[in-house]
Amino acid sequence: MALRIVDYDPNDYKLAAVLTSGAGEVLEGDQKIGPVFSLFFQWAEKNQAFLRYSKSTSELVSCKITRDIEERDLSQLYVSIPLNSIKEKVVAENLFIRMVIFEVCYEFESSIIDHWIEGEEQNFIIDVPKNIKMILARKAPRSSKSDVAVDAKWIVGNEIINCFITSMGLDSCVIDCQLSPSLKGILQIAGHDFIAKVVRNWEGEKKSVIKIDFSSDYETGLYFDVYKMFRYPRLSSRTRYEVEDVLELYKRAGFFNNFSSKFDEEDKLEKIKTDWNNIKSAEHHHTADYCLEQSGKLAGTSSLAQFCQTPNLEYWVFHQLCADKELTTLEDTGTLYNWRCEYLHLRKKDSASYVWFRSESRWLERIYVKFNTQNPQLGELKTCSLFTYIHHASEGDSLNVRVYNFGDGKRAIYKDDYITAGAGPNYVHINRNMNVIICNDGDWTKVKNAANKICQALNEKSLYFRVEIDNSNPDSSIEIEPQNGTDRVTIIKKVGLLDLIPCVNHSIAVTKLKKGIK
Amino acid sequence: MDNHSRSLGGMNILIYGKDPLMPMKLEQALATAKPADEVLIDSFENYDQAYNFCKDNKNVGLVFLFENCGEMDVNSVFTQFQKLNEYQDTCFAVLLHNGMETIKGLRASKDNDSIIGYYNVNDLLDLNKTSFFMQEIWEKYQTTFEKILIPSILASTYKTIAQKHLPTEILNFGERLSVLLSGEMNVTWKESLMLKWSPVLKVLKENDQDLIKGNKQLFGLYQIVESNQNSSDLKQIAESELEIAKKISTTVQCLISSMKENKLEMVLQNAIKEVTPRSKALLRILKRRELNILEMAKASDVTTKVAQLKVV
């Protein structure tokens, strides 16, 4: 029976489910194999294929896989490779194919139906496989760049070996020297010592894989700063830029016009500068802010900030993403989204990531609904009502409020069964939206009570808050501003962060096709 | 709904409604059931965004409309979208309720022939059922379109007149062969419909052209499958630069001619004797379906003779 490129099965309908299959899982039957090939052929620019002609060889040759677009069902596959890319003449009956789609890797073995040479190409026609093995769910692949090699030192006792890092993954990297497996030592990168262990080497090759054993969340941030050179080479820490330049980018991108509220302060820009200078030392502890460059110009920026924490859980917000439309592409916007997933995934503590967005952006709505449809267990997506208001402090206590250093500023957090709240420094977000109160039972009295406690703890007469609450009728004494009628909030569990990346990338690919962008 | 890559033929599907999150949830449910066409499905909660989408694309053929669609009634909203379609006759709507049918919804779907169904959105969102309901909606869509294009009385008239010029068994064989090949080749739903009618329409065009010229839409659509090539070489047809649908109609005409001359088996076997995996899809399919085609030829003959006996 021929394989239909896209088919459905009432019991296993989720095409993208194949992206979340576990390593080693074998996909059998048309209903499971169909989606893999569907994705592969749908997104030609997102796929890669490699060929091995024998199980025993490790030589992988990049190949092109196509199909006959005139037939409705997939009955055979066409594979071609450059004529001299395989040293020996292929006499095998079967080919081993490895396909990579949206960074997920599959391998299958298939019998050769026909084989010929035409021009500079060696061509094969192979059977559609009966099963496909998910060889590695490389959701966090090691990245390498031909023009990037980072200096490092491998230190064991008094012995110091100078080396280069040639590729990096989220918790491991490859260095250009051969070390004994299981050897423990210190890998010094960018002046920081990471406790590490050799987990793999290759016989006869100057190459070893080193796994890092992070000792703190701060250390994961330092590691990410190096990792991004491979994975997101155009991304730089915001601390490298003058505050004025970044603010200019926000202005240029229309961020203030779109999101500023009636509670704006006249001296806002000065206050932002002061707070941003104060929170520089909060980087990798409570914030992460990165900027994207294009041809030497600042083109985009996005941030993460921790708005609350408990001993076992950190609450983070994806916030203040802006991109200059003239200078950035959709892929750049994807970068500004994706680094945050990897950054938080790397941290040691468990986390819940909050994203507030507006449904007018169908692109964002598509990303998060897609993610939620495919992975309902990895997060939550709901409509929400957002308000902003200024709380004027009245007499009261600051019981159960925890105040801690947030860089050179202070942050106060409060959490009970109904309220999760945090405030300070005011301009962690350029519109003070990191002063957050989330109330899950619709009671504005509880919101006011929490706001008052936080004001007392920070010794502030008044504070601006963004409130998420399912109650649009607060008592008339509160001056509020509904932010938008179409707001959404999505909460992503740490375990789901890396699954968001294929959703972002797939949504970008879909949006580009919809808009005819090449 | 057919799931192959060209089935919609570039037609856009629009989802519009005011219930928060629901339009995108439906978009993603449909995209999951029909991934090859995710790029053709768009959802909106904002009327202006939806309107502009229809205006910019001009080929929205199917609208999923939530009952909660704002201040305007559903028929008015749908009419606004429909009139932006270049070919208004091919734009239909499916009305959606949230679990409870309403009198307003029932009335709207009764009053407007272009509303082809009234569904519970939760059924469509249930990923175990999405494909089933999409298939049902798609069949209704095509049936409604076919009825508008060729109403049943007209259909029998066309067939009766065509039978005056070509034996019924040959027409039946042509129709069945077209359906068989359309089911194996990557054609759009419109091409598939026109291929089914192509043996009849070809005869009418050659003998009673005025009859179908009067049906401008049908005549226009027939052009997408009509081929003026009269080749008797199936290999040449398969390897030609013709579009897929035209290759099929030319192949059908070739086999109809050979059937008329009692050479069907010979022509078919000549074409497929050298078919290899490198051969074009059409030839590989003819080889795979050789027995079916020969059986169809015999069955058409027998069916016609039985029908003639009944008349006698």
> Does one domain contain both A208 and A130?
no
CB contact under 8 A, B28 and A68: no
pLDDT at A20: 41
CB contact under 8 A, B280 and A70: yes
Domain boundary assignment for chain B: 12-148, 150-304
Question: Is a pLDDT exceeding 80 seen at residue A138?
Answer: no
Which among B36, B183, B276 has CB closest to A114? Answer: B276
Which among B29, B36, B184 has CB closest to A71? Answer: B184
> Does one domain contain both A16 and A129?
yes
CB contact under 8 A, B131 and A10: yes
> Does one domain contain both A350 and A390?
yes
**What does the pLDDT look like over A436-468, one tens digit per residue?**
999 999 899 999 999 999 999 999 999 999 999
Q: What is the DSSP letter of A215?
A: -
pLDDT at A11: 29
With beta carbons less than 8 A apart as the criterion, state whether A398 and A457 touch: yes
Q: Which helix (H) or strand (E) covers residue A314, if one does?
A: strand A313-323
> Does one domain contain both A402 and A359?
yes
> Does one domain contain both A284 and A386?
yes
* A162 in contact with chain B, both atoms CB, cutoff 8 A: no
CB contact under 8 A, A365 and B183: no
CB contact under 8 A, A38 and B35: yes
CA of B23 vs chain A CAs: smallest distance (Å): 10
> Does one domain contain both A147 and A127?
no
pLDDT at A92: 75
Is residue B192 classed exposed, middle or buried when 0-12, 13-18 and 19+ CB atoms within 10 A define those classes?
buried
* Domain region containing A199: 143-223
**What does the pLDDT look like over A310-330, one tens digit per residue?**
999 999 999 999 999 888 888
Single-letter code of the amino acid located at A76: Q
Q: Give DSSP secondary structure letters for A237-289.
A: EGGGS-HHHHHHHHHHTTHHHHH--TT--TTHHHHHHHHHHHGGGGBTTTEEE
**What does the pLDDT look like over B79-116, one tens digit per residue?**
999 999 887 778 999 999 999 999 999 999 999 999 99
CA of B83 vs chain A CAs: smallest distance (Å): 22
Higher pLDDT, A23 or A55: A55
Scanning A43-185, the segments in alpha helix (DSSP H) are: none
Cα-Cα end-to-end distance for chain B = 42
- Three-class DSSP category at A231: helix
Question: Is a pLDDT exceeding 50 seen at residue A232?
Answer: yes
Average of per-residue pLDDT values in chain A: 87
Cα distances (Å, whole numbers) of residue B77 to A27, A498, A517, B83: 45, 40, 30, 10
CA dist A470 and A467 (Å) reads: 10
Return the ∠ at Cα A51 (arms to A48 and A55), rounded to 5°: 135
Q: Which two tokens stand for residue A161?
A: 């070996």
> Does one domain contain both A158 and A219?
yes
Class level of CATH domain B12-148: alpha beta
pLDDT at A84: 79
Q: Based on the structure, what is the number of domains in chain A?
A: 3
> Does one domain contain both A201 and A186?
yes
Query: pLDDT confidence of A472, banded at 50, 70, 90?
Result: low
Residue A299: how many CB atoms within 10 A of its CB? 24
**What does the pLDDT look like over B236-290, one tens digit per residue?**
999 999 999 999 999 999 999 999 899 999 999 999 998 999 999 999 999 999 9
> Does one domain contain both A215 and A240?
no
Query: pLDDT confidence of A488, banded at 50, 70, 90?
Result: very high
* A155 in contact with chain B, both atoms CB, cutoff 8 A: no
The torsion angles phi and psi of A29, rounded to 5 degrees, stand at 90, 155
The answer to which of A305-309, A331-335, B43-47, B298-302 has the lowest mean pLDDT is: B298-302
pLDDT at A479: 78
**Average pLDDT rounded to a whole number, residues B300-304:** 63
With beta carbons less than 8 A apart as the criterion, state whether A226 and A237 touch: no
Last residue of a domain, one of A223, A253, A280: A223
pLDDT at B228: 81
With beta carbons less than 8 A apart as the criterion, state whether B161 and B211 touch: yes
Query: pLDDT confidence of B25, banded at 50, 70, 90?
Result: very high
Place of tokens 């054609």: B187
pLDDT at A17: 40
pLDDT at A2: 40
Last residue of a domain, one of A136, A162, A183: A136
Maximum alpha-carbon separation in chain A: 86
| Closest residue in A to B187 (Cα–Cα) | A72
CA of B60 vs chain A CAs: smallest distance (Å): 13
**What does the pLDDT look like over B180-227, one tens digit per residue?**
999 999 999 999 999 999 999 999 999 988 888 888 889 999 999 998
Per the confidence metrics, is the pTM higher than 0.90?
Answer: no
pLDDT at A29: 78
Looking at the DSSP assignment, which residues form a beta bridge with residue A301?
A291, A322
pLDDT at A18: 40
CB contact under 8 A, A10 and B284: no
| Closest residue in A to B132 (Cα–Cα) | A10
CA of B231 vs chain A CAs: smallest distance (Å): 20
* B5 in contact with chain A, both atoms CB, cutoff 8 A: yes
Q: Determine what percent of chain B is predicted with pLDDT higher than 70.
A: 95
CB contact under 8 A, A488 and B27: no
Interface probe for B, chosen from A116, A361, A369, A510 (most Cβ of B below 10 Å), is A369
* A515 in contact with chain B, both atoms CB, cutoff 8 A: no
pLDDT at A8: 30
- Three-class DSSP category at A510: helix
